[in-house]
């Protein structure tokens, strides 16, 4: 007898799950299905699981394909089960291709082509359906985004839009999407929500067109380049009863949320100063360093560095000043923004052509908090005091590229069963757009005036 085993969460059981089990059964004579527990799902980064373990088991039982159903609850169990049950074939969906090749030493490993274009569901959850998502853009961020979606329950990528048809087609082929478009209106017809990962200056236009069509929007940072544009987009989302979120992944990450909680507890006393730095060395020929109007280190990275500043001191500042090094095109390759508040001060450091230590430092009257680089992927931070013996270090997880956290909150907001808007509020997003607008106006007025110019 040829034994086959497969695993999964099988949340919001749909046609894709049904077909996978059907094809898994066809690989042998006896099918064992492992269903993950809620605890193990959380551990491996699977977010927003809606159905209970017992509901998910019952959905699998009702298909009639499983000869035996087991529970998966710990790392390393797959290899254990293959040996324990004398398995001949291990199989999962093709979106996991290569991940389980290490099991080939125990049995045959088969990656089954997943069901693209989920248009109908079977044994659907009582309250929530599958959110059909479309992606705008086919660049680096979009490529990082797609693998993260599979870790969030209740959402499926249906299609991609790009103004150049061949780019859209190649992206769809790479990620096994059935639909690709170079016509934005056609793209919007088959989806419920949009993720926008196009160049900065296009965010506003795509967001407004999607909202006008009644689609929920998750837009990469910066969502807008001016205060009025940002406010107008939020007002439109409200009128259309749509969710609008800005995709600054740090804001939604558990480590950053823990950091804010500890900081607000008063353990370092009154906070007086915040220094946030994010730099990376970019190719001088890249868009970020050749686009004289919208490129540069500040527009590219300041959404991260401004985030802890606005979270700690708020939106009402007294003054702001910028100093930059620019290249020969007048594009900033390194910028410091100095922000003065009534009861504090802050410094944002961003760079694409100058490298610095990417840390976050929060200084208080009783001590300080240091978050080592890369702080925007907060996995640990330390509270430090005058007496070093009192220092305390905290640890947490930051899974994958971190995009799954914002995707999870986006799904939660659409379904309306959790209010997580406090993680990045409307007023905080508007603040960031206002600061970017001030910077761009200053740069446009005198692109070569800033403190230094580096030829490159």
* Domain extent listing, the chain: 3-112, 131-247, 251-399+420-453
The interaxial angle of helices 254-264 and 297-313, nearest 10 deg, is: 40
Q: Label residue 235 left, alpha or beta by phi (over 0 means left) and psi (-120 to 50 means alpha).
A: alpha
Report the candidate in 178, 250, 242, 164 with the shortest Cα–Cα distance to residue 209.
Answer: 242
Please check whether residue 119 is in contact with residue 190, taking contact to mean a CB–CB distance below 8 angstroms: no
Residue 131 has pLDDT above 90, yes or no: yes
Residue 12 has pLDDT above 90, yes or no: no
> Which string of DSSP letters, residue by residue, matches 400-419?
TTSHHHHHHHHHHHHHTS--
CA distance 304 to 14: 37
Cβ contacts of residue 180 below 8 Å, gap of 6+? 159, 160, 161, 162, 165, 168, 169, 171, 172
Select the more confidently predicted residue: 86 or 265. 86
Residue 68 has pLDDT above 70, yes or no: yes
Report the candidate in 270, 441, 275 with the shortest Cα–Cα distance to residue 342.
Answer: 270
Q: 251-399+420-453 falls under which CATH superfamily? A: Dihydrodipicolinate Reductase; domain 2 (3.30.360.10)
Burial environment of residue 15 by CB neighbours within 10 A (0 to 12, 13 to 18, 19 or more)? middle
Give the per-residue pLDDT at 418.
Answer: 59
Give the per-residue pLDDT at 347.
Answer: 98
CA distance 406 to 133: 14
Count how many residues are written for the chain. 456
Torsion of CA 44, 46, 48, 53, to 10 degrees: -80
Identify the three-state secondary structure at position 223: coil
Residue 123 has pLDDT above 50, yes or no: no
Give the per-residue pLDDT at 333.
Answer: 97
CA-to-CA dists, residue 449 to 138, 294, 442, 446, angstroms:
36, 18, 9, 5
Assign a CATH topology to domain 131-247: Rossmann fold (3.40.50)
Cβ contacts of residue 164 below 8 Å, gap of 6+? 182
CA-to-CA dists, residue 101 to 82, 104, 407, angstroms:
14, 6, 28
Please check whether residue 87 is in contact with residue 78, taking contact to mean a CB–CB distance below 8 angstroms: no
Residue 13 has pLDDT above 90, yes or no: no
Looking from the CA of 220 toward its CB, the CA atoms found within 13 Å total 23
Q: Quick one: pLDDT band at residue 430, thresholds 50, 70, 90?
A: very high
Residue 456 has pLDDT above 60, yes or no: no
Q: Please compute the mean of the pLDDT values over residues 416-427 and round it to a whole number.
A: 80
Strands 108-112 and 89-93 come out as parallel
Give the per-residue pLDDT at 271.
Answer: 97
Select the more confidently predicted residue: 387 or 456. 387
Please check whether residue 276 is in contact with residue 348, taking contact to mean a CB–CB distance below 8 angstroms: yes
Q: Please compute the mean of the pLDDT values over residues 48-65 and round it to a whole number.
A: 90
| Dihedral sign for Cα atoms in the order 319, 361, 326, 330 | negative
Residue 400 has pLDDT above 80, yes or no: yes
Cβ contacts of residue 131 below 8 Å, gap of 6+? 154, 155, 156, 192, 193, 216, 411, 414
Select the more confidently predicted residue: 306 or 44. 306
Cβ contacts of residue 250 below 8 Å, gap of 6+? 256, 304, 307, 376, 377, 378, 402
Give the per-residue pLDDT at 121.
Answer: 39
With residue 395 as reference, give the H or E element that holds it: strand 392-395
CA distance 325 to 317: 24
Average pLDDT value for the chain = 91
pTM: 0.80
pLDDT digit string, tens, across residues 206-258: 999 999 999 999 999 999 999 999 999 999 999 999 999 999 999 999 899 98
Residue 88 has pLDDT above 50, yes or no: yes
Radius of gyration of the CA atoms of the chain, in A: 24
Give the per-residue pLDDT at 40.
Answer: 86
Reported CATH class of domain 3-112 = alpha beta
Q: Quick one: pLDDT band at residue 32, thresholds 50, 70, 90?
A: very high
Name the least confident of 121-135, 235-249, 317-331, 411-425: 121-135
> Which string of DSSP letters, residue by residue, matches 86-154?
T-SEEEEEGGGTTTTGGGGGTSEEEEEPP--S--S-SS--SS---EEEEEE--SHHHHHHHHHHTTBTT
Select the more confidently predicted residue: 303 or 47. 303
Give the per-residue pLDDT at 44.
Answer: 81
pLDDT digit string, tens, across residues 324-369: 999 998 999 999 999 999 999 999 999 999 999 999 999 999 999 9
Q: Quick one: pLDDT band at residue 46, thresholds 50, 70, 90?
A: confident
Residue 453 has pLDDT above 50, yes or no: no
């Amino acid at each position: 007898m040829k034994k086959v085993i497969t695993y999964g969460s099988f949340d919001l059981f749909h046609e894709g799950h049904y077909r996978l089990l059907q094809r898994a059964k066809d690989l042998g004579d006896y099918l064992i299905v492992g269903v993950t527990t809620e605890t193990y799902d959380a551990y491996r980064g699977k977010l927003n699981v809606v159905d209970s373990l017992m509901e998910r088991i019952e959905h699998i039982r009702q298909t009639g394909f499983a000869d035996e159903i087991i529970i998966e609850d710990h790392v390393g169990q797959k290899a254990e089960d293959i040996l324990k049950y004398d398995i001949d074939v291990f199989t999962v969906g093709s979106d996991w291709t290569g991940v389980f090749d290490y099991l080939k030493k125990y049995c045959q490993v088969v990656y089954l082509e997943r069901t693209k274009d989920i248009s109908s569901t079977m044994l659907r959850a009582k309250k929530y359906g599958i959110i059909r998502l479309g992606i705008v853009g086919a660049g680096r961020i979009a490529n990082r985004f797609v693998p993260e979606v599979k870790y969030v329950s209740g959402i499926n990528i249906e299609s991609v839009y790009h103004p150049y048809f061949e780019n859209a087609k190649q992206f769809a082929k790479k990620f096994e999407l059935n639909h690709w478009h170079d016509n934005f209106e056609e793209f919007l017809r088959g989806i419920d929500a949009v993720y926008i990962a196009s160049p900065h200056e296009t965010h506003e236009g795509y967001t407004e067109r999607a909202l006008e069509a009644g689609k929920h929007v998750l837009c990469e940072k910066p969502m807008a380049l001016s205060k009025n544009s940002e406010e107008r987009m939020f007002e439109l989302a409200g009128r259309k009863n749509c969710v609008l979120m800005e995709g600054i992944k740090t804001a939604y990450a558990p480590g950053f949320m823990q950091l804010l909680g500890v900081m607000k507890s008063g353990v370092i006393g009154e906070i007086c100063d915040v220094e946030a730095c994010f730099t990376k060395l970019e190719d001088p020929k890249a868009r970020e360093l050749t686009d004289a109007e919208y490129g540069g280190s500040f527009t590219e990275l300041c959404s991260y560095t401004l985030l802890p500043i606005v979270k700690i001191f708020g939106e009402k500042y007294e003054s702001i000043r910028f100093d930059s090094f620019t290249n020969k095109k007048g594009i900033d390759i390194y910028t410091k923004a100095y922000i003065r508040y009534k009861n504090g001060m802050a410094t944002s450091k961003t760079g694409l052509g100058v490298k610095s230590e990417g840390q976050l430092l929060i200084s208080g009257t009783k001590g300080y908090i240091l978050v080592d680089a890369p702080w925007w992927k907060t996995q640990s931070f330390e509270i430090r005091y005058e007496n070093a013996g009192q220092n305390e270090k905290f640890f947490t997880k930051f899974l994958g590229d971190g995009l799954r956290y914002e995707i999870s909150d986006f799904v939660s907001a659409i379904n309306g069963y959790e209010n997580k808007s406090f993680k990045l509020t409307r007023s905080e997003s508007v603040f960031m757009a206002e600061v970017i607008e001030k910077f761009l106006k200053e740069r446009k007025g005198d692109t070569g005036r800033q403190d230094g110019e580096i030829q490159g």
